Amino acid sequence: MSSKALPVLVSWIGGNDLKAVAGGEIGPVLATLRAQRFARAELLCSYPEDELVRYQAWLKTQTDLPIRVHHEPLSSPVNFAEIHQAAFRQLERIQAAGGPLVILLSPGTPAMQAVWILLGKTRFSASFYQSSLEQGVQPVDIPFEIAAEYVPAAAGVSSESLSRIALQAAPVDAAFDHIVARSKSMLRLKQQAQVLAQKQVPVLVYGETGTGKELFARAIHNAGPRARMPFVAVNCGAIPADLIDSTLFGHKKGAFTGAVADRAGVFQQADGGTLFLDEFGELPPDAQVRLLRVLQEGTLTPVGDSAERRVNVRVIAATHRDLMSDVVQGRFREDLFYRIAVGVLHLPPLREREGDLLLLADALLVGIALQDGELKGKKLSTEAKNIVLKHAWPGNVRELQATLLRAALWSQGDTIGPEDVAGALFEMPPTAPSSATPDVSQGIDINGKIRDFAKVHLIEALKYTGGNKTRAAELLGLASQQTLTNWMKKYDVE
């Protein structure tokens, strides 16, 4: 295939991409560049320009592909108007140069992803990819065309309303009544959370992405004795490695390049109230040590300062990771885990909440209507409800809400039909099973199967990293290079 026939990859640069510079996972952009062939990559970045420069320099050491990075400063990463203007301008320029377009959806905010889909299905002819650690790089089949008949239904919805609905942020005044459920497991969790709300103990909320962890955190805060004090939320996984201490504990003016004024960290901002540490399991080990000290002693020292500050903060942490497994593997500190995991709430995925799905769908449609009157009165038909019930909802409540929003926009009357829901669903490509389930009744060599499985993945990880044992150990979830070496000896891998 000639280089002219290869597509051009277009993508925003996301937080996970930037973290790769500091030695984290390679990020969706580089993973896609390695998995598929492209003529070149055209990347948009709304982060500060110095971060963009660092990432561009690092990326050029990882691939020989021509890379063009375009700085697109935004007043907000969810400003639909600015995102649309930037994306349209770049797509128009790239299309004029010729060649097919491939848009990578994974990096960026939901608003950026929505704009990509709208532009890639209307004004520009583009195909779509997504990348994740769990599923790898895969094409995305968006099984609908945004044709003219859809426009009248969505025309009255303001961009501000669409932004609010799409982001689905937990309401500031969230209470336990906002948590819609009738399943026994969820009702029991609500009762447990109400008990925890009256206590001052730290709380760990864990569960899959999109299960409502922040909603529970806000409800606990609002039902407790700190309700009139600040609730401060921070996504630990989105903080650049060199700014973790500054973000958590604050800094003094001149403490580092760019510190032009004193800045209070999130602990000081939440003093007297609640600090919600989302994606808690993403904190690197050195930051875990300093966080543990603050939790144990109730004091912190801002970066560049010598004086300790006392803080009184209730911490609620959330994660989608299996932290117990991370503790066993040496990736997460055991003492920090037990310091946080005093009150523990395990939110089940939507597929395990028997009886909640349609109840929740109806409540979400009511919420969508309250955000924008143009979508008032929308209800699911019986056939549409059957499609909702059959879908696995791997993205949980967040995926359900986004799907219902798209279906409500596409539907022409008050009834959302099966074709509207089917058109709004994102179906992952099916993956073929690696092998049939063995018949245990006939006896199996389980040690041999474990050996074969481990050997294949050890070899693949070492190939991928060019023999870098430290990096290969990280990819395989092993605690250290020495652990990898021990496995290599055990399973006879050169």
Tens digits of per-residue pLDDT, 301-337? Answer: 999 998 899 999 999 999 999 898 889 888 899 999 9
Which overall architecture, per CATH, does domain 181-350 show? 3-Layer(aba) Sandwich (3.40)
State which CATH number among 1.10.1660, 1.10.10, 3.30.1490, 3.30.70 fits the domain covering 440-490. 1.10.10
- Residue 78: HSE in the Cβ half-sphere, 13 Å Cα cutoff: 13
> Which residues are bridge partners to 300 per DSSP?
309
> Which residues are bridge partners to 274 per DSSP?
231, 314
Q: Mean pLDDT over all residues of the chain?
A: 85
Tens digits of per-residue pLDDT, 441-483? Answer: 556 677 777 877 888 888 878 877 778 888 888 888 888 888 8
Provide DSSP, 61-117: TT--S-EEEEE---S-TT-HHHHHHHHHHHHHHHHHT-S-EEEE-SSS-HHHHHHHH
* pTM above threshold 0.85: no
Residue showing tokens 């609908």: 144
Query: Domain boundaries in the chain?
Result: 3-142, 181-350, 440-490
**Strand duo 415-416 + 379-380: pairing:** parallel
Residue percentage of the chain with pLDDT more than 70: 88
Tens digits of per-residue pLDDT, 118-177? Answer: 888 877 888 999 998 888 899 988 766 554 334 434 444 444 544 444 445 566 556 787
Provide DSSP, 251-281: B-TTSSTT--S-B--HHHHTTTSEEEEETGG
CATH number of 3-142: 3.40.50.10770
Topology agreement, domain 181-350 and domain 440-490: no
